[in-house]
Structure 1
Amino acid sequence: MSIDIFGFRALWSPYFLVSLILVLVGYVLLVSKFRHKFIHNEPVGIKQQALFITAIVLLYVIKGSPLDLLGHIMFSAHMTQMAFLYLVVPPLLIMGIPEWLWRSILHIPLIKGMFNVFTKPLFALITFNALFSFYHIPLVFDFVKTDMLLHAGYTTLLFISAIFMWFPLVNQLPERASLSGVKKIAYVFGSGILMTPACALIIFATDPLYSTYSDASAWLVAMELCVPASALSGLTLSGPEMFNGLPIMDDQQLGGVLMKIIQEIVLGVTLGYIFFAWYRKENGSNDEIDPVPSQIQTVK
């Protein structure tokens, strides 16, 4: 059966789309027309603007397109959402915001205090992965997925903690450079290790873990998070298998595998970015030293 039966609002989240368009308009105005209102307001290059725009477009695809609806039907789609929402969007957002705007944001006392505490590398790394693993405990997962406010609150908390986790790795502020090249590499490896238990729990489980994807009544309650009650009330639904061609266990294991694969790809790209940035920095330092002349002329 097609997911079109849930209606336009459930499929395309028009209110969320309008909100993100307003964010984009605000960003463009800040980095162009109102840039002169900030100190050290260097022009923002096209590449940096493209990073921010890409992050916002991805955010809409993840949380506003039919993928969000599929994420309530197929566990594999849900885990794909999680991977992009917490591993791809945050670093793009951080790198897409210019240094002078970051300094203005971090000048706000409350935000400055939060970043001073929560972006400490070890604390940020452990906090995000602890929240991520805790969320995927079956009892917690099903409870959160069936309460709209709790679900919105927890996923927002996870997203903010992902920002904190990525900030020490990819921010370009010299005064916030808390990790050297070697420490950044260790940080990336640590992230990969800490997320593995949650993925392994899902991949190697022998039974369905989550009622919100295997039990029809729990699933219908969870669907209320993304489908208007008026649309659901007019439908006769027996369970997610009406829209999912994969057996429950295959879908569950695929979700864990996709999460781990996407994580490894993202962390691999991040390692490459860190290594080459480190290499360029070291090479630049060497180039600053005056070379020894190849020939020394003696004045006779």
Structure 2
Amino acid sequence: MPISIFGFQALWSPVYLGVLVLITMLYFLVLVKWRSKFEKSEPLKVKEAGLFVSGMVLLYAVKGAPTDLLGHILFSFHMAQMAILLLLIPPLFIMGIPAWAWRAFIELPVIKPIFNFFSKPMMAIILFSMVFSFYHIPLIFDFVKQGALIHGIVNVILFTSAMFYWWPIVNTLEGTHKFHGLKKLGYLFGLSVTLTPACALIIFGGNPFYATYTDGEAWLQAMALCVPTGTLSQLGLSGPEMFSSMTPLEDQRTGGIVMKVLQELVFTVFLWLVFYEWLRNENDNADEITAKALRDREAMAYHRHNA
């Protein structure tokens, strides 16, 4: 059965699109037109604007376009949503907002202590992995899917925890928690390890876990998050099996595989970028490193001679 039966509003989320357009307009107003109101501000770079707009486009693609509707019908699409929402969009937003703008926000009295605490690398990785894993516990997952308010709050918590996780890797703001060089590689590898148990449980589980994708009543209640109630009541649907040839267990296992594969792809790209950055810095500073090594060797020889 085609998903077009749910109507234009459910497919394209025009209100959500309008909100994202307004946020994007505010981004350019603050960082371009009103930039002079901030101390030590700098002109917005084309690269920064491109990264931010790319993040907004992806955000609409996974949470506003038909992908969001499919994410309520099939668990595999939900996991694809989660991978893009939590592993790709946050670094785009962090890199897309200039360092001076981040400083102005972080230095706010209410924000600073909270941000400094949760952006600590170990705290960030523990927080993100715990939030992601607890969210996919069946009892919690099905509960979250039954109400718009709790669903929205949990999505904000998930995304915020992902922002904290990515902060030490991609931010350029001096004086904040961040890794340099090969330490970033270990940090990225650490998250890959912490997410593996949840993905493995989903992939190798012997039974479908989530009532939201197996029980008709629970599924219809979850569908009400993105489909107008009036439209849903007129369709006479029984469950997600009407839109897919996969069994619930196949759908669940596919979702776990999709999440793990997309995670590895994103991390591979960032691992290569981190390694390339480290290699370039090593080459750029080769003369300085060689000179320092010679000075250290001469100092050791001098101390041995005088010993």
Q: TM-score, normalised by structure 1?
A: 0.93
Alignment of 1:237-252 (within 5 A): 237-252=237-252
Aligned position for 1:106: 106
Preserved contact between residue 17 and residue 64 of structure 2 (Cα < 8 Å) = yes
Match runs of 1:191-206 below 5 Å: 191-206=191-206
Identify the residue that residue 181 of structure 2 maps to in structure 1: 181
Q: Specify the alignment match of 1:145 in structure 2.
A: 145
Q: What is the letter of the counterpart of residue 59 of structure 1? A: L
Q: Deviations over 1:149-205 (max 9, x none)?
A: 111111110110000010011001122253232321111010000000110011001
Q: Distance in 2 between matches of 1:100 and 1:178?
A: 16
Distance 1:32 1:23 in 2: 14
How far, CA to CA, are the matches of 1:229 and 1:56 in structure 2? 28
Report the CA distance between 1:120 and its aligned residue.
Answer: 0.4
Task: Specify the alignment match of 1:96 in structure 2.
Answer: 96
Aligned partners of 2:288 and 2:181: how far apart in 1? 19
Cα deviations by residue, 1:228-265 (Å, 9 ceiling, x for unpaired): 11111211001111112222221111100000000001
- Note if contact 2:87-2:263 (Cα within 8 Å) is conserved in structure 1: yes
Equivalent-residue separation in structure 1 for 2:36 and 2:22 (angstroms): 21
1-structure distance, mates of 2:79, 2:275: 29
Count of matched residue pairs: 291
- Cα separation, 2, equivalents of 1:272 and 1:12: 35
Tell me what 2:117 maps to.
117
Give the distance between the partners of 2:97 and 2:288, measured in 1 at CA: 29
- 1:298 is aligned to none
The yes-or-no answer on 1:27 pairing with 2:34 is no
* 5+ long unaligned stretches in structure 1: 292-300
Deviation of 1:28 after TM superposition, in Å, equals 1.5
Which amino acid is the alignment partner of residue 172 of structure 2? Q
**How do 1:21-170 and structure 2 match up within 5 A?**
21-170=21-170
Matches of 2:114 and 2:45, distance apart in 1: 29
Tell me the residue number matched to 1:235: 235
Answer with 80-89 or 182-191: which moved more.
182-191
Residue 207 of structure 2 aligns with which residue? 207
Assess if the C-alpha contact under 8 Å between 2:182 and 2:274 holds in 1.
no
Task: Classify the secondary structure of the residue corresponding to 1:238.
Answer: coil
Give the ranges of 4+ consecutive aligned residues of structure 1 lying more than 4 Å apart after TM superposition: 287-291
Aligned to 2:303: none
Which residue matches 1:295?
Answer: none
* Superposed CA offset, 1:106-150 (max 9, x none): 111122111100000001001110110011111111111112211
* Alpha-carbon distance in 2 for matches of 1:51, 1:155: 22
- Separation (CA, whole Å) in 2 of partners of 1:208 and 1:216: 14
CA distance in 1, matches of 2:193, 2:239: 35
RMSD: 1.5
For residue 53 of structure 1, report the CA deviation from its aligned partner: 0.2
Question: Which stretch shifts more, 32-41 or 252-261?
Answer: 32-41
| Identity of matched residues, % | 52
1:148 counterpart letter in structure 2: A
Q: Which amino acid aligns with 1:13?
A: S
Give 1:287 shift: 4.8
- SS for the counterpart of 2:227 is coil
Q: How far off is 1:18 after superposition?
A: 0.6
CA apart distance, 1:290: 10
Letter in 2 for 1:141: F
Matched residue SS, 1:32: helix
User: Which residue of structure 1 aligns with residue 296 of structure 2?
Assistant: none
3-state secondary structure, aligned to 2:57? helix
Q: Structure 2: where are the runs of 5+ without partners?
A: 292-307
TM-score using structure 2 length:
0.91
Q: Give the superposition deviation at 1:281.
A: 2.6
1:172 corresponds to? 172
CA distance in structure 1 between the partners assigned to 2:225 and 2:97 by the alignment = 31
What is the CA distance between 1:279 and its match in structure 2? 2.3
| Contact 2:200 2:256 survives alignment (8 Å) | yes
Distance 1:283 1:40, change over 3 A: farther
Q: Which has the higher mean CA deviation after the structures are superposed, 110-119 or 55-64?
A: 110-119
Query: In 2, distance between residues paired with 1:140 and 1:8?
Result: 30
Partner in structure 2 of residue 294 of structure 1 = none
